């Protein structure tokens, strides 16, 4: 660990932030860095990466091309990533020569659903009951452990519902792990939650912490459709959500923005569903409703700057524009509020193409349910 | 005029907006275009132009290199400018092959203080009393015409107080026009105004109009230091200011954002000081206090999109960071609110290096003074 290069002073304006990954999150990070007078260098395998359109430098390369990654890192004052499936080995490689945040340990834990749930559990935070699954026999046993039904997920590389199957019997569990080709998996008890929520928060190099108000999130086909802030969370639940994010980020010695996805149960309990070690779709509303957005907050954190004020000055509803819906850009261009399109040329089903946020005057979270 | 190429349909996401000029206004225009999924190609003589850091393509070239300008325009769906001193001939040259907004006629008028004041006067709008000055004899006569004292300004190319001298006698007027090397000039009566204000507004290709709430502006050494919204303007004055901008933009068949600088006299009268055919420093607060900023509004207008809602959802104070002050970026990084630094490497005295905006809950303009 002594090989890890640490940031010794804040990155001055004119300095360069390296971003691994060039999707819409990388694009919005680059735009946020530009506001602060910082340059960006984006590294992505896709020559048409949306972030390439708005950065000072870009490199087309694979994450496992460590020589190319090292050349990229050599041009940067600090490196970060927009994508939790960057190989932890790549992050560790960068860390030897250039400061990189968040750290590789945080990335490793959040890349593996089983490690992640175990970590959350070890902090005394609540999750759905879960069990490891590697074999058909194990799958049958796991169904019993979690109460007869649940959601089987591959431990690694899933997002937006990919690599997830609902199972309601031992037979289904066995056939599912087979269909996963015995990829290491996890079975999570089915949670009869009332709704989903999330908390987006940041931790700075100085250990400071700032959390945005937690939105209520509405999913369709496992893909986020809408975030509402304030949603149905009570003030006490909002405070608890922020406290969860604080505990997680402190324990991980995390630097940057992270998101914690939550299930809000019918009895009001908050369960941790997932940790995303990056800016998050459910925080896009901060672009308009806060003076410092989640994207700027992440740049501030990784650049060693003081965190900005996460206070909201308006209520907000963020709605995603998915797949072919983006063809209706003329309709969206008339929507009152703020429109964001991500510069993606191809409209694939369910692909996040843009979003819009409508603002209304500020109200507080409800003081009770 | 039949040679002018018109926009026949809105520029679709993925299309390219050309921007003549690569300073901070071009930079913020490029960032705003990116939000809408539009690419930008920036043309500027300065290889270190701040806008080059955030655009998809850039060209280093002079405005009078019409061949280079034509090649640039050929890559764009529509062209605009961030700088009112682009030669009108350059704009006319582009207009033959590529739609360009605002139009050359609007640019010509606003490039010449004497033409501009005459134009405003012809609309029945009020200005300070003014007279043309070309000679020492003319200067002496002009002082009498405007009431014994005034401000002499070159008709062309001045900004931030450059090319402006206060004169209080016929002798001073004569020596000033001599010091201007007899550049065509204008003498404007000294206005004992209460404070300065401005209105930033947009007109779309469909003739639609949208004005932001007019800020009160505080200058130091002829350079804008601070814009406050709402400032001291009454609701009636705010309405009048918007109406002035509407009259001007309609008469010019203007497309894009323009700013009208105003003197607010002690009796409440509004005098038009200057028209800027572009986004304006006194509109930077719209980045945070409105869902659609002046920069996005300008892009929407020139791209043939519907104008966005100019409503404010917060009160705002915008403060410029000038010259060497930018060395204190660590201090500014702690200021509550939104910080913008423009990516300029060199800190020259008075140079606009960045700004910050603080937001407070929304209040209305005062209903009376």
Name B57's bridge partners.
B41
| Span B39-50, average pLDDT | 97
Nearest CB to B340 within list A35, A313, A345 = A35
**Chain B neighbors of A42, CB-CB under 8 A:** none
User: Is B248 in contact with B254 (CB distance < 8 Å)?
Assistant: yes
User: Are B31 and A54 within 8 A, CB to CB?
Assistant: yes
User: Is B359 in contact with B318 (CB distance < 8 Å)?
Assistant: no
What pLDDT is stored for residue A368 in this prediction? Answer: 45
> Considering the entire predicted model, what is its pTM?
0.94
What pLDDT is stored for residue B276 in this prediction? Answer: 96
Structure-block tokens of residue A314: 């308006």
Residue-averaged pLDDT of chain A: 94
Using one digit for the tens of pLDDT, what is the confidence trace for A152-187? 999 988 666 667 899 999 999 999 999 999 999 999
Among the four given CATH numbers 3.40.50.300, 3.90.1660.10, 3.40.50.20, 3.40.50.970, the one describing domain A16-100: 3.40.50.20
CA distances B319 to B90, B229, B298, B357, Å, are: 33, 12, 22, 6
Find which of A25, A31, A35 to mutate to test the B interface (most B CBs within 10 Å of its CB): A35
Nearest CB to B313 within list A30, A38, A313 = A313
User: What are the extents of the domains in chain B?
Assistant: 16-100, 129-189, 193-360
User: Are A53 and B56 within 8 A, CB to CB?
Assistant: yes
Nearest CB to A345 within list B14, B27, B362 = B14
Q: Would you place residue B4 in the very low, low, confident or very high pLDDT band (cuts 50, 70, 90)?
A: confident
**Chain A neighbors of B52, CB-CB under 8 A:** 56
Q: Which residue of A has its CA nearest to B293?
A: A338
Structure-block tokens of residue B109: 């008028």
Specify the 3-state DSSP secondary structure of B246: helix
What pLDDT is stored for residue B161 in this prediction? Answer: 62
Res B259 pLDDT > 50:
yes
User: Are B341 and A35 within 8 A, CB to CB?
Assistant: yes
Nearest CB to A314 within list B30, B313, B342 = B313
Minimal C-alpha gap between A254 and chain B (Å)? 21
**Chain B neighbors of A12, CB-CB under 8 A:** 329
Minimal C-alpha gap between B77 and chain A (Å)? 16
Q: Quickly count: other Cβ atoms within 10 Å of residue B75's Cβ.
A: 16
Res B261 pLDDT > 60:
yes
What pLDDT is stored for residue B164 in this prediction? Answer: 86
User: Are A300 and B333 within 8 A, CB to CB?
Assistant: yes
Minimal C-alpha gap between A156 and chain B (Å)? 31
CA distances A33 to A19, A43, A342, B287, Å, are: 11, 15, 17, 15
Using one digit for the tens of pLDDT, what is the confidence trace for A207-253? 999 999 999 999 998 899 999 999 999 999 999 999 999 999 999 99
Q: In 3D, which of B88, B42, B41, B46 has the Cα closest to residue B64? A: B88
DSSP assigned state of B213: P
What pLDDT is stored for residue B158 in this prediction? Answer: 66
User: Are A309 and B53 within 8 A, CB to CB?
Assistant: no
Q: Which fold has domain B129-189?
A: Dna Ligase; domain 1 (3.30.1490)
| Span A262-278, average pLDDT | 97
User: Are B55 and A56 within 8 A, CB to CB?
Assistant: no
User: Is A27 in contact with A51 (CB distance < 8 Å)?
Assistant: yes
DSSP assigned state of B221: T
Q: Quickly count: other Cβ atoms within 10 Å of residue B260's Cβ.
A: 27
User: Are B313 and A361 within 8 A, CB to CB?
Assistant: yes
As a whole number of angstroms, the distance between CA A133 and CA A118 comes to 14
What pLDDT is stored for residue A1 in this prediction? Answer: 47
B201's enclosing H/E stretch is strand B193-203
Res B174 pLDDT > 70:
yes
| Span B126-150, average pLDDT | 95
To the nearest whole percent, how much of chain A has pLDDT over 90?
Answer: 88
| Span A289-304, average pLDDT | 96
**ipTM field:** 0.91
Nearest CB to A334 within list B55, B306, B338 = B306
User: Is B205 in contact with B255 (CB distance < 8 Å)?
Assistant: yes
Choice among A258-262, B78-82, B154-158 with the minimum mean pLDDT? B154-158
Res B365 pLDDT > 90:
no
Find which of A313, A352, A355 to mutate to test the B interface (most B CBs within 10 Å of its CB): A313
User: Are B333 and A305 within 8 A, CB to CB?
Assistant: yes
As a whole number of angstroms, the distance between CA A333 and CA A336 comes to 8
As a whole number of angstroms, the distance between CA B136 and CA B139 comes to 5
B358's enclosing H/E stretch is strand B352-360
Nearest CB to B37 within list A36, A336, A341 = A341
Nearest CB to A37 within list B35, B292, B341 = B341
Choice among B73-87, B152-166, B198-212 with the minimum mean pLDDT? B152-166
User: Is B50 in contact with B22 (CB distance < 8 Å)?
Assistant: yes
What pLDDT is stored for residue A159 in this prediction? Answer: 60
User: Are A34 and B343 within 8 A, CB to CB?
Assistant: yes
> DSSP for B125-169?
--B--EEEE-SHHHHHHHHHHTTS-EEEEESSS--TTTTEEEE-S
Res B163 pLDDT > 90:
no
**Chain B neighbors of A344, CB-CB under 8 A:** 37
Nearest CB to A329 within list B13, B291, B313 = B13
| Span A51-76, average pLDDT | 96
User: Are A313 and B354 within 8 A, CB to CB?
Assistant: no
DSSP assigned state of B255: -
Choice among A90-104, B128-142, B225-239, B349-363 with the minimum mean pLDDT? B349-363
Specify the 3-state DSSP secondary structure of B182: coil
Q: What is the 3-state secondary structure (H, E, C) of chain A?
A: CCCCCCCCCCCCCCCEEEEECCCHHHHHHHHHHHHECCEEEEEECCCCCHHHHHCCEEEECCCCCHHHHHHHHHCCCEEEECCCCCCHHHHHHHHCCCCECCCHHHHHHHHCHHHHHHHHHHCCCCECCEEEECCHHHHHHHHHHCCCCEEEEECCCCCCCCCEEEECCHHHHHHHHHHCCCCCEEEEECCCEEEEEEEEEEECCCCCEEECCCCEEEEECCEEEEEEECCCCEHHHHHHHHHHHHHHHHHCCCCEEEEEEEEEECCCCEEEEEEECCCCHHHCCHHHHECCCHHHHHHHHHCCCCCCCCCECCEEEEEEEEHHHHHHHHHHCCCCCEEEECCCCCCCCCCEEEEEEEEECCCCCECCC
Res B1 pLDDT > 80:
no
User: Are B13 and A339 within 8 A, CB to CB?
Assistant: no
Q: In 3D, which of B95, B13, B6 has the Cα closest to residue B56? A: B13
Minimal C-alpha gap between A180 and chain B (Å)? 37
| Span A314-337, average pLDDT | 94
How many cross-chain Cβ pairs, A to B, lie less than 8 Å apart?
120
Using one digit for the tens of pLDDT, what is the confidence trace for B225-257? 999 999 999 999 999 999 999 999 999 999 999
Q: Would you place residue A274 in the very low, low, confident or very high pLDDT band (cuts 50, 70, 90)?
A: very high
Res A197 pLDDT > 50:
yes
Res B367 pLDDT > 90:
no
**Chain A neighbors of B36, CB-CB under 8 A:** 333, 339-341
Among the four given CATH numbers 3.40.50.2300, 3.40.190.290, 3.30.470.20, 2.60.120.650, the one describing domain B193-360: 3.30.470.20
As a whole number of angstroms, the distance between CA B230 and CA B238 comes to 9
Geometric angle at alpha carbon B95, from B93 and B100, rounded to 5°: 125
Find which of A10, A24, A34 to mutate to test the B interface (most B CBs within 10 Å of its CB): A34
Mean pLDDT comparison of A353-362, B197-206, B341-350, highest-scoring range: B197-206
**What count of Cα atoms within 13 Å lies in the side-chain half-sphere of residue B225?**
6
């Amino acid at each position: 660990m002594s090989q890890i290069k640490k940031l010794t002073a804040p990155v001055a304006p004119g300095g360069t932030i390296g971003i691994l990954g060039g999707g819409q999150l990388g694009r919005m990070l680059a735009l946020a860095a530009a506001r602060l007078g910082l340059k960006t260098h984006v590294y992505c395998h896709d020559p048409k990466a949306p972030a390439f359109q708005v950065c000072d430098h870009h490199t087309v390369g694979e994450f496992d091309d460590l020589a190319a990654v090292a050349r990229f890192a050599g041009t940067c004052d600090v490196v970060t990533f927009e994508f939790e499936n960057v190989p932890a080995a790549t992050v560790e490689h960068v860390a030897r020569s250039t400061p990189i945040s968040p750290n590789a340990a945080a990335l490793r834990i959040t890349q593996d659903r089983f490690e992640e749930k175990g970590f959350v559990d070890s902090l005394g935070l609540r999750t759905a009951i879960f069990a490891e699954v590697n074999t058909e026999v194990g799958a049958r046993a796991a169904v019993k452990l979690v109460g007869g039904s649940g959601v089987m997920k591959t431990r690694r590389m899933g997002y937006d519902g990919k690599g997830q199957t609902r199972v309601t019997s031992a037979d289904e569990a066995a056939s599912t792990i087979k269909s996963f080709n015995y990829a290491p998996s996890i079975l999570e008890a089915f949670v009869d939650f009332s709704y989903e929520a999330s908390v987006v928060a940041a931790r700075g190099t100085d250990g400071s912490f700032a959390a945005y108000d937690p939105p209520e999130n509405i999913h369709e086909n496992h893909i986020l459709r809408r975030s509402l802030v304030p949603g149905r969370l009570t003030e006490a639940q909002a405070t608890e959500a922020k406290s969860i994010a604080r505990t997680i980020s402190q324990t991980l010695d995390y630097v940057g923005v992270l998101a914690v996805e939550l299930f809000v149960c019918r009895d009001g309990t908050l369960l941790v569903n997932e940790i995303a070690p990056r800016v998050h779709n459910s925080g896009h509303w901060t672009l308009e409703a806060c003076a410092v957005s989640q994207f700027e907050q992440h740049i501030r954190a990784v650049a060693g700057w003081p965190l900005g004020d996460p206070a909201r000055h308006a209520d907000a509803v963020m709605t995603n524009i998915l797949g072919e819906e983006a063809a209706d850009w003329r309709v969206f261009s008339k929507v009152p509020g703020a429109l964001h399109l991500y510069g993606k040329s191809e409209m694939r089903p369910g692909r996040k193409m843009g979003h819009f946020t409508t603002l209304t005057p500020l109200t507080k979270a409800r003081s009770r349910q």
